[in-house]
Amino acid sequence: MVQDCTPRIRSSENSIESVMKVRVSRKAHFNAAHRLNNLDWSVEQNQRVFGKCNNPNGHGHNYEVIAHVIGEIDQESGYVMDMKDLKQFMREEIEDRYDHKNLNLDVPEFMDLNPTAENMVVVIWNRLRKRIDNKHQLVVTLYETERNYVEYSGN
């Protein structure tokens, strides 16, 4: 027998019988260039560690970022979060900020921070976290290529 997991409203208390969390997700894209380089290292060490990603003129990626917002379904709206708001936050905090930029030269937070995918996902998470209600969990997944991606959830 299949269990019915539909949220049910108690008529006497007008509340959901059990707390259910749902994950809603929104995807965005941006194209950006970067150079992986540690300013404290020698040219040789940077080349050895980062290889072609240390090209002095940089290289580019077509990034894909997914924001996953996890929370309870609002009884009145039926939403975990209004996706129009999430779309706007991602446009302002990610796409407008990073698209067609050289991350090392054009984006203040990466002028002194090596723009590895790992550092980028944490920066993106922090930017979105400020815009999303703290009652929700946030997980951000950043694809640098189709096969290489990182994920950060704030812990």
We report the CATH number of the domain holding residue 86 as: 3.30.479.10
**What confidence score (pLDDT) does residue 10 get?**
45
> Is the residue at 16 inside a domain?
no
Q: Look at the chain and report how many structural domains it folds into.
A: 1
> Is the residue at 121 inside a domain?
yes
Active site residue 100: yes
Q: What is the dihedral of CA 112, 113, 114, 119, to 10 degrees?
A: -170
Check whether 50 has a pLDDT greater than 80: yes
> Is the residue at 1 inside a domain?
no
What domain range is 89 assigned to? 21-152
> Is the residue at 12 inside a domain?
no
Active site residue 72: no
> Is the residue at 82 inside a domain?
yes
Q: What is the pTM of this model?
A: 0.87
**What confidence score (pLDDT) does residue 14 get?**
55
> Is the residue at 123 inside a domain?
yes
Active site residue 53: yes
* Per annotation, catalytic residue among 29, 59, 100, 151: 100
Q: Cβ distance 117 to 125 under 8 Å?
A: no
**What confidence score (pLDDT) does residue 20 get?**
85
* Per annotation, catalytic residue among 53, 64, 68, 136: 53
Check whether 17 has a pLDDT greater than 60: no
> Is the residue at 116 inside a domain?
yes
Type of residue at 154: G
DSSP letters, 59-125, are EEEEEEEEEEEEEEPPTTT--SS-HHHHHHHHIIIIIHHHTTEEHHHH-GGGSSS---HHHHHHHHH
pLDDT mean over 61-80: 97
> Is the residue at 3 inside a domain?
no
Percentage, residues of the chain above pLDDT 70: 88
Alpha carbon 10 to its chain centroid, in Å, reads: 36
